[in-house]
Amino acid sequence: MTKTFSPKMNENKDKKIAIIASRFNDFITSRLVEGASGKLIEFGVSSKNIFIYWVPGSLEIPIMAQKIIKKIKPDALIAAGAVIRGETDHYNIVINESAKGVSGVSLATDTPILNAILTCDNIDQAVARSGVKAGNKGAEVAQATLELLSVIDQLK
């Protein structure tokens, strides 16, 4: 017989979640942070257990994640940023290295870090994904964070 593990979204009161947000393109990232923190509270996370850290850009998110994990030992982290394609290859460096860094810290520390760093071709796409047209990716990632924590808890 197959054993299935599915999220149970009613056990979040004591979860400690850190959100690391890039100040670069903060007109987008502030919306992602609002969406994420709002969704966490909606699903029962206490506002006193949500920690928001602002860093200069998406490349700084991995090192901050590592420091936060050592200092406050959160159950999970959410990385929020907005990288918008420009006229140079710098876009590719930022999206690749920030994603690789976030993943590396998550695996090295055994702490879930979910990625809400938008990678968009233009400002319109970023605005749409931060809550105007295509939903709020911060809120979506916050819900996914709690779902993942629920399934992880079932392994214990």
Q: Active-site residues: which are they?
A: 90
Dist. CA 38–CA 68, nearest whole Å: 21
Return the exposure string of 139-151: e unless at least 16 CB atoms fall within 10 Å of the residue's CB, then b.
bbbbbbbbbebbe
Are 20 and 65 in contact by the 8 Å Cβ rule? The answer is yes
What SS3 state is found at 59? helix
